[in-house]
Amino acid sequence: MSFNGWVKGLFGKSDTATLVDNAFCCLPTGRLNELAIKKWAIDSCVNKIANALCRAEIQTFVNGKEERDLNWYLFNVEASPNQNATEFWKKVVYKLVYDNEALVFQVKDSFYVADDFAQLKFAFKENLYTNIVLKDFTMSGALSESDVMHLVLNNDDVKNTIDSFYVMYGDLISRGVANYKKLNARKFIFKTRGAMSQKNEDDSELQDLMSKRVQKFLSENDSAMAVQDGTEVNELKNESKTSDTRDIKKMVDDVFEMVANSFNIPLGIAKGDTVGLNEQMNAFLMLCLNPIAEMINAEFNRKYYKRDAVLKRTYMKMDTSMIKVQDLKDSASALELLFRTGTNTVDDNLAMVGRERTGLPENEERYISKNYAPQGEEVESTKGGEVNENA
At 245-292, the pLDDT tens digits run 566 677 677 777 878 888 889 988 888 887 888 889 999 999 999 999
Q: Residue 105 pLDDT more than 90?
A: yes
Average pLDDT on 2-22 reads 43
The answer to whether residue 378 sits within a structural domain is yes
Average pLDDT on 158-163 reads 60
pLDDT of amino acid 254: 75
pLDDT tens digits, one per residue of 169-185 = 555 556 555 665 666 66
The answer to whether residue 340 sits within a structural domain is yes
The rounded mean pLDDT for the chain is 76
pLDDT tens digits, one per residue of 202-231 = 567 666 666 666 666 666 566 666 666 666
CA atoms within 13 A on the CB side of 12: 6
The answer to whether residue 367 sits within a structural domain is yes
The answer to whether residue 252 sits within a structural domain is no
More confident residue, 354 or 68: 68
pLDDT of amino acid 29: 44
Q: Residue 85 pLDDT more than 80?
A: yes
Per the structure, the complete domain to which residue 346 belongs is given by: 326-391
Nearest CA-CA partner of 4 in 99, 77, 84, 117: 99
The answer to whether residue 123 sits within a structural domain is no
- pLDDT band with cut points at 50, 70 and 90 for residue 8: very low
Q: How far apart are CA 343 and CA 335, in angstroms?
A: 10
Residue type, 34: E
Predicted structure pTM score? 0.68
Average pLDDT on 106-134 reads 94
Average pLDDT on 291-307 reads 95
The answer to whether residue 339 sits within a structural domain is yes
pLDDT of amino acid 171: 58
300 burial type by CB count under 10 A (0-12 exposed, 13-18 middle, 19+ buried): buried
Q: How many domains is the chain built from?
A: 1
- Concatenating the DSSP letter of every residue in 299-318 gives HHIIIIIHHHHHHTT-EEEE
Q: How far apart are CA 204 and CA 15, in angstroms?
A: 51
- In sequence order, the β-bridge partners of residue 232 are 191
Q: How far apart are CA 65 and CA 378, in angstroms?
A: 35
Average pLDDT on 15-23 reads 39
End-to-end Cα spacing for the chain: 82
